[in-house]
């Protein structure tokens, strides 16, 4: 089965057709198409494509939903100084289903 490695949101993802993954938020409505142009690697069995052979190829996916990751708590504390600080963060994510990988 063919797989590809592409880059989006500063991270690289290895996917195959039918995979569902959560990536950094895209400005796209659920049900719309997502196109990832920065393909780094495509492989199927013993044949691989890297670099200039991938120019113009893109991985296609369908936006399933917009979600939020679990809350991350950052608690800062300095002993004996009376300093406590709590900050929370919740990353916004987009769940994408991969529909097609370039051959």
Q: Is residue 72 part of a domain?
A: no
Q: Could you tell me the residue range of the domain that residue 12 belongs to?
A: 3-67+93-100
Q: Is residue 76 part of a domain?
A: no
Q: Is residue 13 part of a domain?
A: yes
Q: Is residue 19 part of a domain?
A: yes
Q: Residue length, the chain?
A: 103
User: How many domains, in total, are found in the chain?
Assistant: 1
Report the distance separating Cα 59 and Cα 66, nearest Å. Answer: 19
pLDDT tens digit sequence for 4-59: 999 999 999 999 999 999 999 999 999 999 999 999 999 988 888 898 888 889 99
Q: Is the pTM of this model over 0.75?
A: yes
Q: Is residue 85 part of a domain?
A: no
Residue among 94, 71, 76 nearest 11 (CA): 94
């Amino acid at each position: 089965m063919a797989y590809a490695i592409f880059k989006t949101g500063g991270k690289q993802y290895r996917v195959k057709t039918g995979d569902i993954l959560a990536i950094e938020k895209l400005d796209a409505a659920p049900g719309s198409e997502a196109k990832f142009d920065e393909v780094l690697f495509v492989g199927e069995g013993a044949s691989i494509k890297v670099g200039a052979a991938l120019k113009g190829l893109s991985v296609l996916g369908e936006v399933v939903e917009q979600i939020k990751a679990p809350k991350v708590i950052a608690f800062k504390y300095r002993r004996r100084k009376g300093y406590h600080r709590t900050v929370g963060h919740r990353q916004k994510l987009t769940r994408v289903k991969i529909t097609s990988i370039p051959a």
